[in-house]
Amino acid sequence: MFTIRVNGEDHTVDVPADKPLLWVLREDLKLTGSKYGCGQALCGACTVHVDDQPTRSCVMPISAAEGHNITTVEAIDQQQIGRLVQQAWQELNVPQCGYCQSGQVMAATALLTENRSPSDRDIDEAMSGNICRCGTYARIRKAIHKIADEQL
Amino acid sequence: MSTSGFTRRQFLRVSALAGGGLLVACGGGGGGGGGSNPNNPQPPGNGGPSDAEQFTVSEFMRIGSDGRIHILVGASEIGQGALTSMPMIVAEELDADWDLVTAEHSPVAARFNNPYFGGLLQFTVASATTRGYFDNQRQVGAAVRQMLVNAAAERWQVSADSLRTERGVVYDDLNGRSASYGELAESAANQPVPSNPPLKDPASYRIIGQSKQRKDAAEKVNGTHLYGIDVDIPDMLTAVIARPPRFFGQALSVDSNAAMAVPGVREVHTIPSGVAVVADDYWSAEKGRQALEVSWNELLAGRTDSNDTRDEYSFKLNLPGVPIRVDGLVPVAQLAAAENRSADYFFPFQAHAAMEPLNVTVDYTGSKADIWTGSQSPTLDKTFASLILGLLPNQITFHTMSSGGGFGRRGNPLADYVRDACHVAKASQKPVKVMWTREDDMKGGYYRPAAAVRVGASMDNQGNITAWTHRAVTQDVTASLYAEELLDTLAEGQLPPFKELTDLETGMPYDIDNVLMDAHLTLKPQMPSLWMRSVNKFTDVFAQETFIDDIAVSYSRDPYQYRRGMLASKPRLLAVLDAAAQAANWGSTGGGRSQGIAVLNHWMSYVAQVVELSVSDDKVITLHRIVSAIDVGTAINPDLVVAQVESAVIFALTSVFYGEIELQDGVVQQSNFDDYKMLRMFQVPQIDTVVLPSNESPGGVGELGVPALGPALANAIFAATGEKIRELPLKNLGYTLAEQHPA
Ligand code: FES
Ligand code: FES
Quick check: B709 and B480 in contact, CB under 8 A? no
Residues 6+ apart with CB under 8 A from B319: B520
Residues 6+ apart with CB under 8 A from B284: A16, B238, B262, B263, B264, B265
Residue closest to B370 by CA, chosen among B434, B425, B436, B427:
B425
Output phi, psi for B687, to 5 deg.
Answer: -125, 120
Helix (H) or strand (E) holding B371: strand B369-374
CA distance B321 to B519: 5
Which mutation among A35, A43, A94, A100 tests ligand 2's pocket best, with the greatest number of atoms within 8 A of CB?
A100
The closest residue, in CA terms, to atom 4 on ligand 2 is: A132
Does A105 contact B225 at a Cβ distance shorter than 8 Å? no
Residue closest to A32 by CA, chosen among B342, B222, B595, B168:
B222
Nearest ligand 2 atom, CA B79: 2
Residue B598 Cα to ligand 1 midpoint, Å, equals 36
Output phi, psi for B138, to 5 deg.
Answer: -65, -45
Does B217 contact A119 at a Cβ distance shorter than 8 Å? no
Does B353 contact A133 at a Cβ distance shorter than 8 Å? yes
- Domain map (residue ranges) of chain A: 2-75, 77-150
The shortest C-alpha distance from A10 to chain B (Å) reads 20
What separation, in Å, do the N-terminal and C-terminal C-alpha atoms of chain B show? Answer: 41
- pLDDT, one tens digit per residue, over A11-68 is 999 999 999 999 999 999 999 999 999 999 999 999 999 999 999 999 999 999 999 9
Is the Cα torsion angle B124, B126, B130, B133 positive or negative in sign? negative
Q: Are strands B169-172 and B164-166 parallel, antiparallel or unpaired?
A: antiparallel
Q: Which residues of B436-475 are buried (b: 16+ CB within 10 A; e: fewer)?
A: bbbbbbbbbbbbbbbbbbbbbbbbeeebbbbbbbbbbbbb
Alpha helices (H) along B168-276:
181-188, 217-221, 257-261
Helix (H, G, I), strand (E, B) or coil at B276: strand
Nearest ligand 1 atom, CA A35: 1
Quick check: A1 and A64 in contact, CB under 8 A? no
Residue B743 Cα to ligand 1 midpoint, Å, equals 27
Residue B441 Cα to ligand 1 midpoint, Å, equals 14
Residue A130 Cα to ligand 2 midpoint, Å, equals 10
Please, what is the Cα angle at B706 between B693 and B723, to 5 degrees?
A: 120
Helix (H) or strand (E) holding B688: strand B686-691
Interface membership of A12 toward B (CB under 8 Å): no
Helix (H) or strand (E) holding A86: helix A80-91
Output phi, psi for A129, to 5 deg.
Answer: -80, -10
CB-side neighbour CA atoms (13 Å) of B439 = 10
Of B223, B225, B282, Cβ closest to residue A27: B282
pLDDT at residue B589 in the model: 86
Which residue of chain B comes nearest to A47, CA vs CA?
A: B223
Quick check: B711 and B541 in contact, CB under 8 A? yes
Q: Which residues of A touch B359 (CB under 8 A)?
A: none
Which mutation among A35, A43, A101, A106 tests ligand 2's pocket best, with the greatest number of atoms within 8 A of CB?
A101
Cis peptide before B198 (omega within 30 of 0): no
Q: Are strands B663-664 and B620-631 parallel, antiparallel or unpaired?
A: unpaired
Name residue B268's beta-bridge partners: B277
| Number of Cβ pairs < 8 A linking chain A and chain B | 193
Name residue B687's beta-bridge partners: B626
CA distance B584 to B610: 7
A107 lines ligand 1 (CB under 6 A): no
The shortest C-alpha distance from A129 to chain B (Å) reads 8
The closest residue, in CA terms, to atom 3 on ligand 1 is: A41
Which residue of chain B comes nearest to A130, CA vs CA?
A: B680
Q: Which residues of B touch A108 (CB under 8 A)?
A: none
Name residue B274's beta-bridge partners: B271
- CATH number attached to the domain at A77-150: 1.10.150.120
Residue closest to B683 by CA, chosen among B629, B620, B596, B729:
B620
CA distance B22 to B113: 11
pTM, 2 dp: 0.92
Q: Which amino acid, one-letter code, is at B169? A: V
Output phi, psi for B176, to 5 deg.
Answer: 65, 35
Does B221 contact A15 at a Cβ distance shorter than 8 Å? no
Ligand nearest to the CA of A136: 2
C-alpha B183: how far from its chain's center?
Answer: 39
Can you spell out the DSSP letters for B431-482? -EEEE--HHHHHHS--BBPPEEEEEEEEE-TTS-EEEEEEEEEEE-TTHHHH
Does B283 contact A15 at a Cβ distance shorter than 8 Å? yes
| Count of beta carbons in the 10 Å neighbourhood of residue B88 | 27
Interface membership of A115 toward B (CB under 8 Å): no
CA distance B627 to B223: 33
Interface membership of A134 toward B (CB under 8 Å): yes
Does B217 contact A96 at a Cβ distance shorter than 8 Å? no
What separation, in Å, do the N-terminal and C-terminal C-alpha atoms of chain A show? Answer: 42
Please, what is the Cα angle at A86 between A83 and A88, to 5 degrees?
A: 105
- Residue A102: is its pLDDT beyond 50? yes
Residue B61 Cα to ligand 1 midpoint, Å, equals 39
A131 lines ligand 1 (CB under 6 A): no
Q: Which of 3.40.50.620, 3.20.20.70, 3.10.20.30, 3.40.50.150 is the CATH number of A2-75?
A: 3.10.20.30
Residue closest to A115 by CA, chosen among A75, A152, A142:
A152
Nearest ligand 2 atom, CA A95: 1
Which mutation among A21, A23, A42, A99 tests ligand 1's pocket best, with the greatest number of atoms within 8 A of CB?
A42
A46 lines ligand 1 (CB under 6 A): yes
Does A135 contact B402 at a Cβ distance shorter than 8 Å? no
Quick check: B623 and B712 in contact, CB under 8 A? no
Helix (H, G, I), strand (E, B) or coil at B139: helix
Does A23 contact B216 at a Cβ distance shorter than 8 Å? no
Q: Which residues of A touch B639 (CB under 8 A)?
A: 93
Quick check: B415 and B378 in contact, CB under 8 A? no
Please, what is the Cα angle at A115 between A109 and A117, to 5 degrees?
A: 105
Domains and CATH numbers, chain B: 8-222 (3.30.365.10), 228-300+357-443 (3.30.365.10), 307-348+448-737 (3.30.365.10)
Complex prediction ipTM: 0.98
Q: Which residues of A touch B221 (CB under 8 A)?
A: 73, 85-86, 89-90, 94-95, 98, 101-102, 105
The shortest C-alpha distance from B652 to chain A (Å) reads 10
| Count of beta carbons in the 10 Å neighbourhood of residue A66 | 12
Low-confidence ranges of chain B (pLDDT < 70): 1-59, 479-506, 740-743
Side by side, the strands of the sheet bearing B177-180 are B164-166, B169-172, B177-180
pLDDT at residue B507 in the model: 78
Quick check: B54 and B33 in contact, CB under 8 A? yes
A39 lines ligand 1 (CB under 6 A): yes
Does B79 contact A140 at a Cβ distance shorter than 8 Å? no
pLDDT at residue B504 in the model: 60
